[in-house]
């Protein structure tokens, strides 16, 4: 039977009932059996849509009119919400967001995993008491508009820079720093980078705050090393922003969408700022990766601890360990924690973090988990528990094969992408059973959802 060609034409207007939210937070409906994605539409709404893009397997549309409104539709807090595109769900009541995020996990498993959905225990999403001002780091591109220095994000599907003066999901400290640094750059007439002409100097303002300490780090990303009036610039930042403990310059002269370049220079103050999670403290350099929502990170890591259910003797392998945060969260209750990562700097930081907190039952090595795990097993060290916290693409296929060979009693899978989690569970299902999946809302008002899954070896 041939697949019927799409019947919708670009520019066509038609009524649509929204059935659910898609993985990017857009409304999903069906017109003449054809799937249509509509940003901004909510489940249960009846809308009139204009088709904006036609693809072989789906169409995209924009709302022309809402005929029947969802009872959970709310007024977004952010004045530039619709232009910005950084958040996708501010127009949906927060409790309803948590329900929809659980539904996004269910959809991912229905689509990418052969384990029947009624055999999976997917718990209600753990949310935030206050889902605003939760991000500890902002990275805003700098530009000029009518002679005025602006900083913000590029608009949704456009290359127009949207000036963001007060982002409601950013910590107030980062909002304040960005706002004042814009004024200082304006006052001192520091050249601003023009992406089209590839001229000028300052490209990006990066601000990060330690929630626990109040320390702020400012990174100016510049196209070249030399900054005119540099001493004056640093003096003004210190005068107007005494809370900034670390002023750093990073040079990125390449035509790239990557924020950071290779060279980093300390202009003033400390090289690191301090952050505390639970009873662990961390030194954050300008380039160091750290979770963006410290409040929810504690909840996420506590869920990892709950899923690991350690008794004091277990051998834990921490794949994709980064700077060691999850492994150190478990180390007190484990027999031994061994972590691996392919980034040498991350492993150095993990070793430092373990030593600083007095842990003697940890070992960190640079390398791929799929190579190190079998080596350790050959040497007589077999993990009882493997913790994985992979990138959005999910676990490396070789690692999954290795886990199926090594057969640890338990896998604790921390995921930032339900689709890749579902695909990986499908592979592991040969020997493993999912006890439960716990969604955690790390990024309120966006379509992202994290999960902690407890996965146990089947008894043959």
3-state secondary structure of 172: helix
**Alpha-carbon distances, residue 53 vs 4, 22, 154, 189, 208 (angstroms):** 18, 17, 21, 43, 38
Cα separation of the two ends of the chain: 42
Is 416 an active-site residue?
A: yes
User: What tokens appear for 215 in the block?
Assistant: 């320390």
Strands 202-209 and 263-269: unpaired
Per-residue b or e along 242-261, where b marks 16 or more CB atoms closer than 10 Å to that residue's CB: eebbbbbbbbbeeeeeeebb
Cα–Cα distance, 64 to 338 (Å, whole number): 55
Residues near 8 by beta carbon (within 8 Å), at least 6 away in sequence:
14, 31, 32, 34, 36, 51, 54, 59
Least Cα distance to 329 among 412, 408, 394, 440 occurs for: 412
The answer to whether residues 352 and 280 touch, using CB atoms and an 8 Å cutoff, is: no
Can you spell out the DSSP letters for 345-393?
HHHHHHHHHHHHTT--SEEEEES-HHHHHHHHHHTT---SEEEE---TT
Burial class (CB in 10 A: 0-12, 13-18, 19+), 167: buried
Q: Which of 84, 113, 321, 416 is labelled catalytic?
A: 416
Cα–Cα distance, 326 to 10 (Å, whole number): 48
The answer to whether residues 348 and 322 touch, using CB atoms and an 8 Å cutoff, is: no
User: Is the sign of the CA dihedral 61, 62, 67, 69 positive or negative?
Assistant: positive
Residue 232, strand partner residues? none
User: What tokens appear for 281 in the block?
Assistant: 């403290």
User: What tokens appear for 353 in the block?
Assistant: 């973090």
**Alpha-carbon distances, residue 6 vs 31, 33, 34, 35 (angstroms):** 10, 9, 7, 10
Cα–Cα distance, 428 to 288 (Å, whole number): 32
**Rg for the chain, CA atoms, rounded:** 24
Residues taking part in catalysis: 416
């Amino acid at each position: 039977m041939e697949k019927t060609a799409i019947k919708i034409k670009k520019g066509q207007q038609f009524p649509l009932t929204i059935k659910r939210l898609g993985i990017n937070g857009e409304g999903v409906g069906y017109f003449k059996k054809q799937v249509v994605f509509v940003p901004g539409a909510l489940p249960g709404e009846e809308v009139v849509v204009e088709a904006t893009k036609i693809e072989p397997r789906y169409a995209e549309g924009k709302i022309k009119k809402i005929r029947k409104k969802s009872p959970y539709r709310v007024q977004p807090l952010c004045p530039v919400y619709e232009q910005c595109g950084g958040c996708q769900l501010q127009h949906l009541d927060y409790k309803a967001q948590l329900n929809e995020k659980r539904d996004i996990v269910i959809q991912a498993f229905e689509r990418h995993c052969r384990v029947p959905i009624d055999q999976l225990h997917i718990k209600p999403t753990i949310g935030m008491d206050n889902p605003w001002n939760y991000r500890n780091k902002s990275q805003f591109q700098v530009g000029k508009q009518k002679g005025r220095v602006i900083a913000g994000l590029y608009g949704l599907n456009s290359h127009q820079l949207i000036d963001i003066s007060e982002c409601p999901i950013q910590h107030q400290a980062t909002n304040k720093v960005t706002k004042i640094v814009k004024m200082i750059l304006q006052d001192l007439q520091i050249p601003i980078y023009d992406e089209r002409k590839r001229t000028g100097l300052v490209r990006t303002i990066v601000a990060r705050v330690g929630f626990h300490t109040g320390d702020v780090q400012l990174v100016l990303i510049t196209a070249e090393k030399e900054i005119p009036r540099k001493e004056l610039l640093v003096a003004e930042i210190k005068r107007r922003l005494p809370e900034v403990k670390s002023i750093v310059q990073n040079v990125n002269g390449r035509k790239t969408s990557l924020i950071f370049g290779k060279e980093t220079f300390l202009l003033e103050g400390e090289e690191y700022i301090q952050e505390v999670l639970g009873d662990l403290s961390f030194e954050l350099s300008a380039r160091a990766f750290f979770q963006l929502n410290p409040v929810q990170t504690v909840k996420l890591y506590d869920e990892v601890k709950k899923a690991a259910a350690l008794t004091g003797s277990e051998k834990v392998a921490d794949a994709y360990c980064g700077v060691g945060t999850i492994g150190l969260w478990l180390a007190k209750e484990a027999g031994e924690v061994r972590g691996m990562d392919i980034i040498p700097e991350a492993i150095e930081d993990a070793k430092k973090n373990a030593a600083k907190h007095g842990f003697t039952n940890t070992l960190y090595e640079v390398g791929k988990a799929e190579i190190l795990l079998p080596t350790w097993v050959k040497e007589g060290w077999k993990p009882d528990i493997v913790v994985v916290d992979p990138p959005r693409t999910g676990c490396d296929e070789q690692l999954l094969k290795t886990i199926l060979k090594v057969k640890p009693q338990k896998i604790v899978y921390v995921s930032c992408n339900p689709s890749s989690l579902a695909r990986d569970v499908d592979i592991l299902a040969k020997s493993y059973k999912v006890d439960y999946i716990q969604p955690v809302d790390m990024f309120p008002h966006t379509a992202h959802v994290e999960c902690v899954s407890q996965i146990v070896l089947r008894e043959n």
